[in-house]
């Protein structure tokens, strides 16, 4: 099917892009990698009057580590850019690993981290990682910028804290301290590569080898990706023994509304819960091993 008629803009500066977004509001859609928007437009599930293409906007696609120990990722950075960024794997294994298992090579070379986060597909991979890493998201508009933590960014199914006239411009993450490790485990849907269930774990060990800090992000299980606070609380202060990891991982869906744990044509709700616990245990164990 052919999309309905729309006006097309390809601004070259962030200032111009934000001006266009503010001018057209809900009548406009922003084009990043296009993997979500273009299929919706071709099926006419989305019919914007205006499309604002960010492909030529400078300064939104880089990955760098600043001197203060902060990782900066532009919202237009492709998955491949994050995966292959020089030095990033040694600074934050979880980012590189998550990027490497998204879709296929074509998706990773075109799709963007910002587009994925803003689309907020409940089975996307990036949300789990940025939740586990407690990332901060910079949201800009013509009136200025604000910062939202990853835990406050995802509001509902396909809904984020992005408001009309705003644009996600950068993701920032503190470089994990020494003796830290991260891992992402998922079962992917064979056609799309999306997660039927996925768990990201980021842990830090203390001098005794016990858990000093933990971040656990879960995707694919509920309508909104979430941080598994009960798992984190069970880990902190304790050892990474097999029994301790299993007991903590068993809390992977604690606090999630049971009505939100329903299945679909890919997997039952019960199976997704099982996978969340299984992958939580695997991700924690591998993250702890990397930290050690």
Q: What is the pLDDT of residue 206?
A: 97
3-class DSSP string for 198-240? EEEEEEEECCCCCEEEEEEEEECCCCCCEECHHHHHHHCCCCC
Domains of the chain: 7-53 (3.30.43.10), 63-174 (3.30.465.10), 180-291 (3.30.390.50)
Q: What is the pLDDT of residue 36?
A: 87
**Cα–Cα dist 256/269, whole Å:** 12
- Between CA 183 and CA 100, with CA 134 as vertex, the angle to 5 degrees is 35
Which pTM was predicted? 0.95
Are the beta carbons of 49 and 7 closer than 8 angstroms?
Answer: yes
The residue assigned the tokens 């879709």 is 103
CA distances for 259 relative to 99, 266, 269, angstroms: 31, 18, 10
Q: What is the pLDDT of residues 158-176, one digit of tens each?
A: 999 999 999 999 999 999 9
Q: What is the pLDDT of residues 90-113, one digit of tens each?
A: 999 999 999 999 998 999 999 999
**Cα–Cα dist 217/225, whole Å:** 7
């Amino acid at each position: 099917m052919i999309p309905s008629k729309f006006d097309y803009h390809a601004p070259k500066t962030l200032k111009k892009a934000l001006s266009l977004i503010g001018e057209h509001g809900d009548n406009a859609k922003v084009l990043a990698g296009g993997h979500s928007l273009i299929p919706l437009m071709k099926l006419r599930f989305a019919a914007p009057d205006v499309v604002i293409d960010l492909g030529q906007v400078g300064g939104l696609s880089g990955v760098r580590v600043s001197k203060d120990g902060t990782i900066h990722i532009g919202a237009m950075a492709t998955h491949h850019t994050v995966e292959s960024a020089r030095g990033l794997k040694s600074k934050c294994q979880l980012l590189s690993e998550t990027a490497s298992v998204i879709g296929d090579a074509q998706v990773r070379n075109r799709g963007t981290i910002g587009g994925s986060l803003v689309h907020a597909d409940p089975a996307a991979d990036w949300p789990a990682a940025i939740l586990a890493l407690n990332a901060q998201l910079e949201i800009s508009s013509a009136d200025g910028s604000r910062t939202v933590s990853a835990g406050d960014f995802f509001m509902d199914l396909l809904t984020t804290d992005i408001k009309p006239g705003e644009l996600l411009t950068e993701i920032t993450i503190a470089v994990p301290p020494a003796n830290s490790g991260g891992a992402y485990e998922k079962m992917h849907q064979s056609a799309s590569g999306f997660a039927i269930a996925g768990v990201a774990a980021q842990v830090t060990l203390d001098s005794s080898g016990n858990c000093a800090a933990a971040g656990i992000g879960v995707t694919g299980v509920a309508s909104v990706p979430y941080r598994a606070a009960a798992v984190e609380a069970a880990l902190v202060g304790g050892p990474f023994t097999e029994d301790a990891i299993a007991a903590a991982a068993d809390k992977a869906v604690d606090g999630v509304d049971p009505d939100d744990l329903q299945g679909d044509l890919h997997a039952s709700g019960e199976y997704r819960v099982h996978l969340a616990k299984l992958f939580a245990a695997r991700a924690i164990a591998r993250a702890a091993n990397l930290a050690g």
